[in-house]
Structure 1
Amino acid sequence: MTGSGELPEILTAHCPRLDTAIGEALRGHPAYQPIRRAAGPMFGPRGATCARLLGLVLASEPLPAEDLARFRDLGVLAARQAIPLPVLSEVWDLALAAAARSCWSVAPAASFAEMAALTARAARLAGRAREACIQGYAEAPREGGTSRPLRRLLAGTLIDGAPADVIADAAGVRLAPAYLVLVCEAPALTSAAHWQRASERLDARDGVLYSGDLGGLVVLFPAEDPLRAEDAAAEFTAGLAACTRGPVHAATSLLGGLSDIPAALEEASQVLTVVKAIPDAEDRPYRADELLVELAILGQPDIRCRLAAVLSPLDAGTDLRRTLEVLLACNLDRERAARELWIHRRTLHYRLDRIRDLSGIDPSSARGIQLFRAALTSARLTSLERTGGRDAGSDGGGADGGCADGGGAEREGAEGEGGAGGPGEDASFPSPLSA
């Protein structure tokens, strides 16, 4: 059994190795050097900081006000260097975990109770320091509720599942009790001007938080009134589609309070994956309960293999998959589909008959078109998985805009009599997002 005072002496002697252990745990982390450059002038050498904090823990003393001020300043500098709060928290957690492992490795077994008490004391001290750091991080971009950095900070914190009350209080922002999570992606060829207009549109909405950009945007709409939040998400998506000329893929989820936001984001992200795969997707947010069959397909690899076999016979014909995609995108309106494909309606009828003959499935029947839709969705999912989730065009599925005005359907030469269609409308830059 260790004598009185033996454990503090052991830990004090261990301090240089404790400093080394923390350095090794953080070495290579992309945010470590920027944080060290910010912290060095305030805290001095890392070894001195380590010894000072260990001394406070061993003496059961709270963090002095001057140290709390240093941690607040560290948060301010981290924010100004655009280090994301989750990354800053990750560095913090790595350092604390390394310190705990190192100290426990030299503590005698007989000092377990004393070491546990010191660990709890260190956790309380670290929690107070972290709170001061977050407060400084929040105050750095403090410009009230319309600050873009603040909205991104709050959104990122909630998405990460971390408590955001300290940040919100420091910035004078009232968090809603619940948020509707919207995830959306706009076309890859959007410009900085498109994003400027979209972000201005979000900034004009009271209480809306957001993170990301048009390549992958997460928006949190206050959901005291869920229907109103859904309307706001739909309005924003429609405006974004009009601004960028679409297609815009979007999904929403609302599961509960603030602590449920990470789960809601996960659900909405799964729905978004399916939305990008269905051939008749519209420029509006989809909910999970609208795509239950497709979500089931997403998690059934055996079913997806069997659905792929449904489409295989169509490779023997010309543009047969594409014909089905556009027909679905045009809501089964054959006249519109023929016009979109730049073919005569009789040519479209011929292709549908050819699809029936090759596959044994009649696309003009309710069962047949549902089966083909599921098969095309499955093929598109596979294509998206190959490309890391980015829209891969019509390879394996997708109407690329379908029947939208000026849509992206691949133009074919006119077939049959009097090929329909004409060049797309002028793609000049559209007006700003409209309500």
Structure 2
Amino acid sequence: MDEVPGVPADLLGGHLRVLEAAAATGRPPDRAALDGYRAAGARAAESGVSLRALVETALVMAESVRTVPLPVLRRAVSALMEGYENAQRLALRQEEAARREFVDDLLQGRADRLAERAEHFGLRLAETYVVAVARPAGPVSDGPTGGDGYGGATAVTDGDGSARRIEEALVARFGSHNVLVAVRDGGLVCVAPGSLAVATGEFTHHVRQMFAPGWRVGLGRAHRGPGGVVTSYREAANAIEFGDRLGLRASVLKASDLLVFPVLLRDRAAIEDLVTTVLSPLLDARGGPEPLLGTLEAVFASQGNQTAAARRLGVSTRAVTYRLERIRRLTGFSPDDPTQRFTLETAVLGARLLDWPAHPLR
């Protein structure tokens, strides 16, 4: 019998005996024999033998046995393939479970053999890394959203293959030891070297191509080591949160562009005092404070250009001028004065971060 390269000689040790018995009696393999074939298929998968080589070996061995019933050979090969495929599925599930556990440990800073495990997934944690987070824009809602938890775009899960397809595209371009893409909290996380800035841009491109509009991407800053990955991940996630709270229109938000907001929230008591002192008089405005807050946001976004602000709001320039005068009378602050403008803008940002006035301050 000719041997097939790469297949251990003893892998199908009982195959000839089963075929010879079937040729002599005409009976198909019994349950024990089929279980033996499944076990042999599993061992082949675990040993790295290709399925093609395994099946070819079984067929070559069958050529030495005369009058083997074709149904018998078919059942034997089918059992081999079943065992092989079952072993592959089990290995894949175990790999995915290990991957999820590693990603959770990495992003939460649990340092149990992180560097050693990172090498298995293509990361060298001594380097500087940047984390990008992509997820549907908008807060998680309790209402009917098609089961994904988001009001607009659809969240992803471990089983839909999105992360794997994006990672394969990035690996094809940048190499296997440069990027890690994983599903987390209904979105996607990409970990890439800080020296490879184009990788996060490519990740963003694939997110836009793969998913319907309504996704945001947050980009953390570059930091070194496992702790740096955690910091960059939190920065990226916070950038998306700030974008949602502030109603920012950009689909890509960089933590480096939003550094003022963590500073504002670091002293919550101070920002609450600022919002209360400067903006609480707007609560007495006819129609409520929201139109006036929206007008201030539009004016600040337009660098003080009231005509441009009116276009943003869909109202007349005269209406904007009137609202700004009401704000000046109620609060005593005017956006035309540089110092007062800064105070007003900071207070408005603080109000959005604290979701005021929807959530009254103590």
TM-score in terms of structure 1 length: 0.45
Alignment of 1:180-219 (within 5 A): 180-187=130-137, 188=150, 189-191=152-154, 200-205=165-170, 206=174, 207-212=178-183, 215-219=186-190
Q: Please state how far the C-alpha of 1:305 moved relative to its aligned partner.
A: 1.8
Q: Please state how far the C-alpha of 1:270 moved relative to its aligned partner.
A: 4.3
Q: Please state how far the C-alpha of 1:293 moved relative to its aligned partner.
A: 3.3
Preserved CA contact (<8 Å) 1:355 1:363 = no
* Code of the aligned partner of 2:130: L
Q: Please state how far the C-alpha of 1:160 moved relative to its aligned partner.
A: 4.0
Give the 3-state SS of the residue equivalent to 1:339 in structure 2.
helix
Q: Please state how far the C-alpha of 1:192 moved relative to its aligned partner.
A: 6.4
Partner of 1:254: 222
Give the 3-state SS of the residue equivalent to 2:183 in structure 1.
strand
Q: Please state how far the C-alpha of 1:247 moved relative to its aligned partner.
A: 6.6
Preserved CA contact (<8 Å) 2:335 2:344 = yes
- Using the aligned pairs only, state the percent identity: 27
Partner of 2:328: 356
Cα gap change, 1:254 to 1:356, in 2 (>3 Å): same
* Code of the aligned partner of 2:133: V
Partner of 1:138: none
Give the 3-state SS of the residue equivalent to 1:361 in structure 2.
coil
Once residues 215 and 324 of structure 2 are traced to their aligned partners in structure 1, the CA distance between those partners, rounded to angstroms, is: 26
Preserved CA contact (<8 Å) 1:155 1:209 = no
Cα gap change, 1:311 to 1:181, in 2 (>3 Å): same
* Code of the aligned partner of 2:136: A
Once residues 297 and 78 of structure 1 are traced to their aligned partners in structure 2, the CA distance between those partners, rounded to angstroms, is: 48
How far does the alpha carbon of each residue in 1:125-178 deviate from its partner, in whole angstroms, 9 at most, with x for none?
A: xxxxxxxxxxxxxxxxxxxxxxxxx5x56544432444345545556x464633
How far does the alpha carbon of each residue in 1:93-151 deviate from its partner, in whole angstroms, 9 at most, with x for none?
A: xxxxxxxxxxxxxxxxxxxxxxxxxxxxxxxxxxxxxxxxxxxxxxxxxxxxxxxxx5x
Once residues 240 and 379 of structure 1 are traced to their aligned partners in structure 2, the CA distance between those partners, rounded to angstroms, is: 31
Give the 3-state SS of the residue equivalent to 2:346 in structure 1.
helix
Cα gap change, 1:340 to 1:261, in 2 (>3 Å): same
Preserved CA contact (<8 Å) 2:136 2:154 = no
Partner of 1:340: 312
Cα gap change, 1:285 to 1:293, in 2 (>3 Å): closer
Cα gap change, 1:197 to 1:263, in 2 (>3 Å): closer
Alignment of 1:91-170 (within 5 A): 155-161=103-109, 162=111, 163-164=113-114, 166-167=116-117
Preserved CA contact (<8 Å) 1:158 1:262 = yes
Partner of 1:302: 269
Q: Please state how far the C-alpha of 1:252 moved relative to its aligned partner.
A: 0.6
Cα gap change, 1:264 to 1:395, in 2 (>3 Å): same
Cα gap change, 1:321 to 1:199, in 2 (>3 Å): farther
Preserved CA contact (<8 Å) 1:308 1:379 = yes
Preserved CA contact (<8 Å) 2:136 2:155 = no
Once residues 217 and 134 of structure 2 are traced to their aligned partners in structure 1, the CA distance between those partners, rounded to angstroms, is: 5
Preserved CA contact (<8 Å) 1:280 1:330 = no
Once residues 247 and 118 of structure 2 are traced to their aligned partners in structure 1, the CA distance between those partners, rounded to angstroms, is: 42
TM-score in terms of structure 2 length: 0.53
Cα gap change, 1:216 to 1:317, in 2 (>3 Å): farther
Partner of 2:245: 277
Preserved CA contact (<8 Å) 1:330 1:336 = yes
Cα gap change, 1:185 to 1:220, in 2 (>3 Å): same
Cα gap change, 1:308 to 1:336, in 2 (>3 Å): same
| CA-based RMSD | 3.9
Partner of 2:346: 374
Q: Please state how far the C-alpha of 1:220 moved relative to its aligned partner.
A: 0.7
Partner of 2:129: 179
Once residues 241 and 395 of structure 1 are traced to their aligned partners in structure 2, the CA distance between those partners, rounded to angstroms, is: 32
Once residues 203 and 117 of structure 2 are traced to their aligned partners in structure 1, the CA distance between those partners, rounded to angstroms, is: 26
**Consecutive unaligned residues in structure 1, runs of 5 or more:** 1-75, 86-149, 385-393, 397-435
Once residues 361 and 155 of structure 1 are traced to their aligned partners in structure 2, the CA distance between those partners, rounded to angstroms, is: 49
Higher Cα Rg, which structure: 2
Preserved CA contact (<8 Å) 1:181 1:221 = yes
Cα gap change, 1:379 to 1:156, in 2 (>3 Å): same
Cα gap change, 1:212 to 1:374, in 2 (>3 Å): farther
Once residues 206 and 308 of structure 2 are traced to their aligned partners in structure 1, the CA distance between those partners, rounded to angstroms, is: 24
Preserved CA contact (<8 Å) 2:156 2:186 = no
Preserved CA contact (<8 Å) 2:179 2:190 = yes
